[in-house]
């Protein structure tokens, strides 16, 4: 399947693995890229630019296919060394960067000068248009269903994707709630040139996380995610657990007085314990509603192969209906 996205990134299938904190290590990105998709290393999971340079080199040892690096601009207590991370990306010869969280305008010239394609992930048409106007090559349009930060507009992909198609000139991929061949064909129908998946890729054999995380996604239904940090306008969709319910109780009790410090125990620095040690009640971790559509733990190659097969079967079936 050739689309504007497969051509832009030099990949076989129009499927991207979105950056994921403490999931997007070299093993994850290489597995997706080796399966014909675009794997992405999560830049900020690496503590220093030197660590990121090392992770890029490790990924290169595992695949000769294109892969990308995610750079997330989110409200953090101490601003990371973004210039250093960008140097590591450029010097590491990475050709695709996924930006997210905030306007990437300040870093764009450095990336473009190095011949890097930039795909900006955003949750609204207005932010997608802004990304287009500042020179991003593509956007990832992340609907309200998504795991992680869906923004504050709450527009699901059945509306958001066709709206993006009506407004954008640059190619875009769907993101949020994508799991299988049906998701891919629906995304194409809405005008996207491919799809981005997060949660689905965590439940794969190669995802470098504790088995408890994969089993939690497998066990979850589409009803098991919660929105946290809404009062702080930093909404995150997470899988429910004891810590999340405690956090929500604090949000209810404190109302408009809630401050980040009140929930720091449930959200700050919890990813290593959850993703590495499998301590599932340690805190809030991003997970999409699409967990309800995750029924197994295949390899990335099996997953992508199955998605493409199902997508092609659906297209053939629709074609058959048209001819009947
Ligand atoms: C565990 C987890 C961690 C994530 N961390 C990041 C991150 O650090 N930066 C980012 O831009 N997106 C992050 N995301 C969002 C994903 O890249 C992707 O946009 C999202 O998962 C798509 O929705 P889906 O989970 O329904 O597929 C994360 C998602 C998950 C599930």
Write out the residue range of the structural domain in which residue 245 sits.
211-289
Query: Is the domain of 70 the same as that of 112?
Result: yes
Query: Is the domain of 230 the same as that of 186?
Result: no
At 79 the pLDDT is: 86
Query: Is the domain of 45 the same as that of 187?
Result: yes
Measuring from atom 11 of ligand 1, which residue has the nearest CA? 100
End residue of a domain, out of 175, 208, 241: 208
Number of domains in the chain: 2
Contact call for residues 227 and 154 (beta carbons, < 8 A): no
Quick check: CB of 46 below 6 Å from ligand 1?
no
d(CA 206, CA 212): 14
Give residue 21 CA to ligand 1 midpoint distance, Å: 8
At 74 the pLDDT is: 77
Is 305 contained in some domain? no
Query: Is the domain of 146 the same as that of 38?
Result: yes
Quick check: CB of 42 below 6 Å from ligand 1?
yes
Query: Is the domain of 175 the same as that of 230?
Result: no
15, 16, 17, 20: residue to mutate for ligand 1 pocket, most atoms within 8 A of CB: 20
Query: Is the domain of 171 the same as that of 233?
Result: no
Q: Which of 200, 197, 181, 201 is nearest to 189 (CA)?
A: 181
Give residue 60 CA to ligand 1 midpoint distance, Å: 23
Contact call for residues 149 and 128 (beta carbons, < 8 A): no
Quick check: CB of 283 below 6 Å from ligand 1?
no
Is 319 contained in some domain? no
Per-residue b or e along 151-181, where b marks 16 or more CB atoms closer than 10 Å to that residue's CB: beeebebeebbebbbeebebbbbbbbbbbbb
At 324 the pLDDT is: 85
Give residue 314 CA to ligand 1 midpoint distance, Å: 27
Query: Is the domain of 18 the same as that of 150?
Result: yes
At 78 the pLDDT is: 78
- CATH number, residue 106: 3.20.20.70
Can you tell me which atom of ligand 1 is nearest the CA of 17? 17
For the chain (length 324 residues), average pLDDT per consecutive 10? Answer: 97 98 98 98 98 98 98 82 97 98 94 98 98 98 98 98 98 98 98 98 98 98 98 96 98 96 96 98 98 98 98 96 90
16, 18, 275: residue to mutate for ligand 1 pocket, most atoms within 8 A of CB: 18
Query: Is the domain of 189 the same as that of 226?
Result: no
Is 158 contained in some domain? yes
**Residues in CB range of 39: below 8 A, 6 or more apart:** 17, 24, 28, 29, 30, 31, 32, 33, 59, 63, 67, 68
Measuring from atom 13 of ligand 1, which residue has the nearest CA? 20
Quick check: CB of 121 below 6 Å from ligand 1?
yes
Query: Is the domain of 169 the same as that of 216?
Result: no
At 321 the pLDDT is: 94
């Amino acid at each position: 399947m050739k689309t504007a996205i497969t051509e832009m990134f030099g990949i076989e299938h129009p499927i991207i693995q979105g950056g994921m904190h403490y999931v997007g290590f070299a093993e994850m990105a290489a597995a997706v890229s080796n399966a014909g998709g675009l794997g992405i290393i999560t830049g900020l999971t690496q503590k220093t630019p030197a660590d990121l340079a090392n992770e890029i080199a490790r990924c290169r040892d595992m695949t000769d296919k294109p892969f990308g690096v995610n750079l997330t601009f989110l409200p953090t207590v101490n601003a990371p060394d973004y210039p250093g991370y960008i140097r590591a990306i450029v010097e590491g010869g990475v050709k695709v960067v996924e930006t997210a969280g905030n306007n990437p305008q300040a870093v764009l010239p450095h990336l473009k000068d190095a011949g890097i394609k930039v795909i900006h992930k955003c949750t609204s048409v207005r932010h997608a248009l802004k990304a287009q106007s500042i020179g991003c090559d593509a956007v990832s349009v992340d609907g309200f269903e998504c795991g992680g930060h869906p923004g504050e507009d709450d527009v699901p992909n059945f509306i958001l994707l066709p709206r993006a198609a009506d407004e954008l000139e640059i190619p875009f991929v769907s993101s949020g709630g994508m799991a299988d061949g049906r998701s891919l064909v629906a995304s194409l129908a809405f005008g996207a040139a491919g799809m981005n998946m997060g949660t689905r890729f965590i439940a794969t054999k190669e995802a470098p996380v504790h088995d408890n995380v994969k089993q939690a996604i497998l066990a979850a239904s589409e009803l098991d995610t919660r929105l946290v940090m809404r009062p702080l306008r930093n909404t995150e969709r997470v899988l429910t657990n004891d810590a999340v319910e405690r956090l929500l109780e604090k949000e209810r009790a404190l109302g408009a007085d809630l401050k980040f410090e009140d929930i720091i125990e449930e959200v700050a620095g919890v990813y290593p314990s959850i993703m590495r040690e499998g301590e599932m009640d340690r805190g809030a971790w991003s997970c999409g509603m699409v967990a309800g559509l995750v029924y197994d733990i295949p390899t990335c190659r099996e997953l992508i192969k199955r998605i493409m097969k199902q997508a092609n079967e659906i297209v053939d079936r629709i074609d058959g209906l048209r001819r009947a």
